[in-house]
Structure 1
Amino acid sequence: MDVKIITIFGATGNQGGSVARSLLKNPAFHVRGITRNPGSEASKALISQGAEIVQANGLNPDDMKAAFRGSWGVFLNINSDDKAFTNPESPSEFDMGKIIVDAAASAGVQHFVFSSGPPCSEMTNGKVSMKAMDMKYKTEQYLRSLGVFKSVLPLGPGWFLENFLTKEVAPVFGGFPYFPDDAGLLVFSTPCWGGKEDVPWLSISDDFGDIVQGALLDPETWNGHFIHGLSDIRSFKELTGDFQEVTSRRATWSPIQPSWEEFQTHGIHELEDVKLMFGFTQITGGKYFGTTTESHTASKLKKATAVALGYPEDKHGLVTVKEWFATRFGNATWCKENGITE
């Protein structure tokens, strides 16, 4: 068997880790993970599953060329919140992206999957500038412009359902799904999304890696196609309704009005981009991926992976929001351990 090396930049992160775990199930692929800390628990876990781990710095061209040597494909996600980008005198996210892309091209990589984003500033006529999105879009355009890869596969990850597992974040959004109000109601409070309120929800653990693997199973078919990385499309109101149905706990969505600018970030740096995200989606009519949100591409890619890995037929589809909540919040023992009452 001709085993293809897939090198993952950020293999111990949420996105890269999901891709690695999916690909490790397929003997047609050899997973090589790039990390700055090969001694971390996350690195050790991947090694125990059969991954090769190499140490490299994304700002070091020689490191990256060595890491990509012999690779057939690459998955790249750059952490926009990396402290390396906070100093205006230091290299930017785009600078890192360019170094990584150039190294992959030099190493003869054929297929490049890139976690990207739409041109936020351009689409809002400068009204909203999300630096992370704009940097990723700029990197994507550079990646496409080289014309040396057999396929360039940009994709955008949706809103991580796994964020609901972090108790510390819940109060920022009204307390849902952990802290009920005085009336015993779990309130999810956000600005409106915009457009048809089609919010793209993504289970990183269940679907993201399989979507990426599906693209790598037939990369030239998907060349240049911006993939919407999602598991389910549900409005905020529908999401809390799904939660209520599978857990029997009262929940509701409370829109923050009249504008996205009313969303409070509480001085938390990471929430600034969340606030701007609402501005972006409201101004563009919900076009989080730059175009109207759709799930049929992700469904096809998930099924392709499921077939390749021999999943039972009931596992060929993307995980729905309702299924995700049922698995994580429908278990009485889990709820008891987390102090959630029925």
Structure 2
Amino acid sequence: MASQKKIITVFGATGNQGGSVIAALLASPVLAAQYAIRGVTRDPTKPSAQKLAAKGVETIKADLNDPTSLKSAVTGAAAVFAVTNYWDTMSKSTEETQGKNIVDACIAANVQHLVWSSLPNVTKLTDGTLSHVEHFDSKANVSVYAEAEKAKTGLWVTHFMPSYFMSNIRSSVKPDPNTGVATWSVPWKETATHLPLLDITADTGKYVAGALTLGSAADGKFIQGVSQWATPGEVVKTISEATGNQVVFKEISADAWREHLPMPDFVKTELVENMLLIRDYSYYGKGTETKQSDNEVFLKAVDGQKLTTFAEFVKANWN
């Protein structure tokens, strides 16, 4: 019976990550029988929230800037998946505060397991070479805070770090003004850059479901959320083969890439450094692409889970 299930609160229930977590929980007979899902969204009346409600998800509203609201959202929950959106405010301090508010609410409500959507600390990872990737560092700082605070109640904290969204590639492939050929122009090396790709809607929840299944064994773990590693050359080859239309790669300078960004200078600087993080540090750190076995345990913890290949993503989403 539903009343005997443990509650999991999922923030961003109608978004990419939260929606993926809910889908993975509902897809697993074991987890679906174990958890009643409480989905947090800005507007429980919108169609996407109503679709979740029709699947048995309790949809509620909460404000990440209001600690009282957050405590209500997690009260009674055994587990929480939490995600924040830096781009709502483009403020590092605001996102850090929101994340810390969630951690504090989980501790106050005696939540057993928090899965926090985090990212690497780029400033530390690059020894200060790249110090403006605020939407990474803010989430990483919340991870540090959660690790320091969790002992107050014995809270388990797992840190899920999503990689480069496959969906970002499609919008950046454009016809070359000189040749007309579909071209992916980015400041990376065609065969030497190692790009971690994630189908954010299909695969996020699979990793989180694994962390929930592992329980205390997932405490303190940092999951690298990757569906597939690929070089830029392999990416355009896959798109060309899957669609039947030629796509080529073109390496451009970071300055040239920056010029075409329609946004404020401070955001341009952040996004350029984000690209250099991928080119020079393989996103998670140099050589990370050869060390993925530690993440497989989360996928395999739930029966039947399989990551999405980039070819599968293109065939399903590239029209």
- Per the TM alignment, residue 27 of structure 1 is displaced from its structure 2 partner at its CA by 2.3
2:113 to 111, 114, 120: 111
Distance in 1 (alpha carbons) for counterparts of 2:13 and 2:169: 22
Q: Does 1:63 align with 2:69?
A: yes
- Per the TM alignment, residue 150 of structure 1 is displaced from its structure 2 partner at its CA by 3.9
Distance in 2 (alpha carbons) for counterparts of 1:195 and 1:115: 30
Q: Deviation per CA, 1:158-190, whole angstroms, max 9, x where unpaired? A: 11112345xxxx3xx351xxx465545221111
Distance in 1 (alpha carbons) for counterparts of 2:311 and 2:203: 15
Instruction: Decide whether aligned partners of structure 1 residues 184 and 266 sit closer, same or farther in structure 2, where only a CA change above 3 A counts.
Output: closer
Instruction: Decide whether aligned partners of structure 1 residues 4 and 291 sit closer, same or farther in structure 2, where only a CA change above 3 A counts.
Output: farther
- Count how many residue pairs are aligned between Structure 1 and Structure 2: 306
Distance in 2 (alpha carbons) for counterparts of 1:141 and 1:249: 45
Q: Does 1:192 align with 2:172?
A: no
Distance in 1 (alpha carbons) for counterparts of 2:86 and 2:307: 27
- Per the TM alignment, residue 122 of structure 1 is displaced from its structure 2 partner at its CA by 2.1
More displaced stretch, 294-303 vs 148-157: 294-303
Backbone CA RMSD of aligned residues: 2.5
Distance in 2 (alpha carbons) for counterparts of 1:135 and 1:224: 18
Instruction: Decide whether aligned partners of structure 1 residues 145 and 94 sit closer, same or farther in structure 2, where only a CA change above 3 A counts.
Output: same
1:266 to 241, 261, 267: 261
Amino acid in structure 2 at the alignment position of 1:8: V
Q: Does 1:121 align with 2:118?
A: no
Distance in 2 (alpha carbons) for counterparts of 1:159 and 1:124: 18
Counterpart position of 2:55: 49
TM-score after normalising by structure 2: 0.87
Distance in 2 (alpha carbons) for counterparts of 1:287 and 1:202: 12
Counterpart position of 2:158: 153
Task: Structure 1: state its 5+ residue gaps.
Answer: 330-334, 336-342
Distance in 1 (alpha carbons) for counterparts of 2:24 and 2:284: 25
Q: Deviation per CA, 1:76-118, whole angstroms, max 9, x where unpaired? A: 11100113x55x9xx6211111111101100000111111111
- Asked if structure 2 preserves the Cα contact closer than 8 Å seen for 1:153 and 1:219, the reply is no
Amino acid in structure 2 at the alignment position of 1:95: T
Distance in 2 (alpha carbons) for counterparts of 1:28 and 1:289: 36
Counterpart position of 1:252: 248
Counterpart position of 1:143: 146
Distance in 2 (alpha carbons) for counterparts of 1:82 and 1:290: 30
2:98 to 79, 96, 101: 96
- Per the TM alignment, residue 252 of structure 1 is displaced from its structure 2 partner at its CA by 1.4
Distance in 2 (alpha carbons) for counterparts of 1:109 and 1:232: 32
2:307 to 318, 322, 340: 318
2:211 to 195, 208, 215: 215
- Asked if structure 1 preserves the Cα contact closer than 8 Å seen for 2:189 and 2:251, the reply is no
1:276 to 273, 276, 279: 273
Counterpart position of 1:132: 135
Counterpart position of 1:205: 201
Runs of at least 4 residues off by over 6 Å: none
Distance in 2 (alpha carbons) for counterparts of 1:302 and 1:262: 39
Q: Residue 92 of structure 1 aligns to a residue in which SS?
A: helix
Q: Residue 117 of structure 1 aligns to a residue in which SS?
A: coil
| Structure having the larger proportion of residues in helix | 2
Instruction: Decide whether aligned partners of structure 1 residues 195 and 164 sit closer, same or farther in structure 2, where only a CA change above 3 A counts.
Output: closer
Task: Structure 2: state its 5+ residue gaps.
Answer: none
